[in-house]
Structure 1
């Protein structure tokens, strides 16, 4: 088990997938990749034969088959299957971000490229680097996981629905006019952690950290702080509006909150 802090500052203990299970999933995926390579190779051979192409086209076909098999397969699967490949699906594994949220194409691409170049094939000694780095890592992370900011867990356990914030009525009109696209995820996480841990902070930390966050947020948004309101109320209003837009058309982006379909249904009632 390993401790995670989700995007809503919820502490979780999730079971980490270790080397033996991940190796088994890798072997299953390798079987699928070999089959995929044979199919792609057959298609490429038929096309080259029909076109009467020269050796340059053969080189292109070989490169396409290799890249499509080694990189394309894990990237497409993990993107479309929410952190799973065929092997991971069979063994109940899932790739998640280090905050416990779902991965996207960027994470899958980083893992796929690093796996092909470093962890497994070109430099990886047929998986030796992946095994060594995973065994040395507390959370069994290979190089691709470190670069992508991901970890592989047993995926049967669902993440809880986050607690949604409620904006102070006197800040509702101000916050609804803001363009919140300027807030990066790391800053949003710091804001949520400040709100959820506010009562555990010392009075000096409540004021100092709150003022610092308000200045940072307003600078990012290009607006002035809305009057002499407490930092907790200003930050809470921004968080609440960000959550509202993640769950309400025309925004409707539940991935912003790291919600599973079941959790999204629970939040929407």
Structure 2
């Protein structure tokens, strides 16, 4: 961690930096999500009120609906949109694995179920018991206070649910390829290595941008240093393992391998974007990949 920037090292061995989301931005996303769920429940209650005679059962239904709609909403949206609810998407936030791995179903479910125990239920008990049972209200208030303090005491701003699930909320990076590399012509005939479509489905634009930075380091005079040679070797092997590239790559061909992979990956992502499927990073997992 450097300030509010954290560095994550995925299995490929290339460190990636993310800006940790501020508590204000997370609170704003939470409020947006609450408003959206309340609007959905309110619309449902109004529809039922038109169909049936109003009674206390409708108030009870609204209370239960708020509970049973909220949990699936947070869980399903974060699974569909790769760690982002509607509120997070509006404010440019995203949940990722703190270890740099693909966001798992367990992590999404764990962090959202824990949210109920550490945030929503204590607040509900506090509001209900504030007059009838002051002792319970005080205990609920203390639990709520602890839940609010925890993100302020750690540098990754993780609440208890994030710590248990191994997740971090970040400000989603905007992947922009550098102009000269983005406009460079791609000569198919010059490629020494070829890649299949399924091998190019593991990465997104943000990883492509990171690989571009590596290629620029290779072009520098210090590219022959032993440290950089070892780094490039580990990156090549990590990519080969990740995409299932069976053929061995000679050390003298490592630069060509990364260059050809970069260009093939770029064409693949641009082709997918033409059909409306924009893959921002490797955490953009499909349902099959999540399984």
What's the RMSD between the two structures over aligned residues?
Answer: 5.3
| 2:26 pairs with 1:37 | no
Counterpart secondary structure, 1:209: helix
**Stretch of structure 1 that moved more, 129-138 or 26-35:** 26-35
Deviation at 1:234, TM superposition (A): 0.8
**Preserved CA contact (<8 Å) 1:119 1:128:** no
TM-score of the pair, normalised by structure 2: 0.54
TM-score of the pair, normalised by structure 1: 0.57
In 2, Cα distance between equivalents of 1:143 and 1:46: 42
Structure 2: gaps (5+ residues):
54-59, 124-139, 283-291
Deviation at 1:245, TM superposition (A): 0.4
In 1, Cα distance between equivalents of 2:79 and 2:238: 34
Deviation at 1:72, TM superposition (A): 0.9
Alignment of structure 1 residues 1-269 onto 2, 5 Å: 2-3=4-5, 16-19=21-24, 22-23=26-27, 26-27=30-31, 29-41=33-45, 65-72=66-73, 75-76=76-77, 83=84, 85=86, 89=90, 93-96=91-94, 109-110=108-109, 113-114=112-113, 116-122=115-121, 127-128=144-145, 130-145=147-162, 147=165, 149-153=167-171, 159=174, 161-163=176-178, 164=181, 172=191, 174-177=193-196, 179-181=198-200, 183=202, 192=211, 194-198=214-218, 199=220, 203-220=225-242, 221-225=244-248, 229-249=252-272, 253-257=277-281
Counterpart secondary structure, 1:175: coil
Deviation at 1:248, TM superposition (A): 1.2
Structure 1: gaps (5+ residues):
51-58, 259-269
**Preserved CA contact (<8 Å) 1:130 1:143:** yes
Count how many residue pairs are aligned between Structure 1 and Structure 2.
237
**Preserved CA contact (<8 Å) 1:4 1:12:** yes
**Preserved CA contact (<8 Å) 1:84 1:94:** no
Counterpart secondary structure, 1:96: strand
